[in-house]
Amino acid sequence: MTTRGKVVLGALFCVLLYFGINKLIASNKFFQKADTQSVLLSSIELPIAPSGSRATLVVPLAPLPGTAPAESGTPVVWEVMAWNSQMAGMLANGGPRTTQGSALAANKIDMQITRQDDVSKMQADLVKNALDLQANPQTPGLIVSIMGDGLPAFSAVQAQLAKAGTGLQIIPYSVGKSFGEDKLMGPKEWLDNPKTALGKTIACYLRDGDQNIALKWCADNGLKVNPDETTYDP
């Protein structure tokens, strides 16, 4: 057989294979479609923040922290995701580990900043830290930062701490806020006509703030969403 004949046969085989696989998938013999129907979420109106005039407070700039490790103070570990709202805390620390001349060093804190994108791992680390502190009070404390919208789901760790029997519990705090980086991003045609987003997929972190933004946009525009996170059925 000539080379041209082999190429033609190869191309024909690929075409038959492509359509054969598509037909097999469409038959639902191997891949079952989701039984859960798409749902339309209830839309809510968010309160409008007051725009009253506020006095401008001028605060003198503090000198930048140094680069040499402080290596003194109460040890603490801070698990964070890569969010702009945490930049102030990172600047106050001087770097991944507290540096000389930083705000935390001045307050006798020696903090190690660690990147952690897995919220479930943060929860497990908090429980482990509570047990470690019970066994050894000299164990460094642990702080974790999540989006505020994710606090209801994250609060389940309180029950895990109660089962651990250490008597410790989560103390929520708020530091910083986003200035627009938390948003729903999509093609311009979605903005012009939200119905064009039907059947499309939006990537987000489940049960956290960026998912809430997407769900509210869908509810505001009358778009049904797939409530089953284990399936994809366009």
Mind listing the pLDDT tens digit for each residue in 134-152?
A: 999 999 999 999 887 777 7
Mean pLDDT of 229-234: 74
What CATH number should be reported for the domain holding residue 90? 3.40.50
Evaluate if residue 1 carries a pLDDT over 70: no
26 domain residue, yes or no = no
| Within-domain flag for 45 | no
Model-wide pTM > 0.75:
no
Q: Which residues contact 158 (CB under 8 A, 6 or more apart)?
A: 169, 170
What is the band of 24 on the pLDDT scale with cuts at 50, 70, 90? low
Q: Considering the domain boundaries, does residue 225 fall inside one?
A: yes
| Structure confidence by residue, pLDDT tens digits, 26-50 | 555 555 555 677 888 887 777 776 6
Same domain, 117 and 193: no
Domain tally, the chain: 2
pLDDT above 90 as % of the chain = 40
Confidence band for 20, pLDDT divided at 50, 70 and 90 = low
pLDDT of 45-55, one tens digit each? 777 766 655 66
- 141: in domain: yes
**Which residue spans within 116-210 are E strands per DSSP?**
141-144
- Whether residues 160 and 87 share a domain: the answer is yes
* Order of strands across the sheet that contains 109-115: 109-115, 74-80, 141-144
Q: Please indicate, yes or no, if residue 46 is contained in any of the structural domains.
A: no
Beta strands per DSSP E along the chain: 74-80, 109-115, 141-144
Q: What are phi and psi of 115, to 5 degrees?
A: -75, 125
Range of the domain at 202: 183-234
47 part of a folded domain: no
Q: Which band of pLDDT confidence, cut at 50, 70 and 90, is reported for residue 229?
A: confident
Last residue of a domain, one of 164, 192, 216: 164
Whether residues 99 and 148 fall in one domain:
yes
Q: What angle do CA 209, 147, 156 make, to 5 degrees?
A: 95
Same structural domain, 92 and 134: yes
* 208 and 160, same domain (yes or no): no
Residue 187 and residue 135 share a domain: no
Confidence (pLDDT) at 155: 83
Domain match, 107 and 157 both: yes
pLDDT, tens digit (0-9, with 9 covering 90-100), for 115-141: 999 988 999 999 999 999 999 999 999
Residue 211 confidence (pLDDT) above 80: yes
In this structure, the answer to whether residues 160 and 79 fall within a common structural domain is: yes
Residues making up the chain, counted from first to last:
234
Which of the pair, 55 or 96, is modelled with greater confidence?
96
3-state secondary structure of 39: strand
Contact between residue 223 and residue 196 where contact means Cβ atoms under 8 Å apart: no
Classify residue 44: in a domain, yes or no.
Answer: no
Q: Are residues 156 and 227 in the same domain?
A: no
Q: Is residue 99 part of a domain?
A: yes
Residues 154 and 105 occupy one common structural domain: yes
Which amino acid type is present at position 215? Answer: L
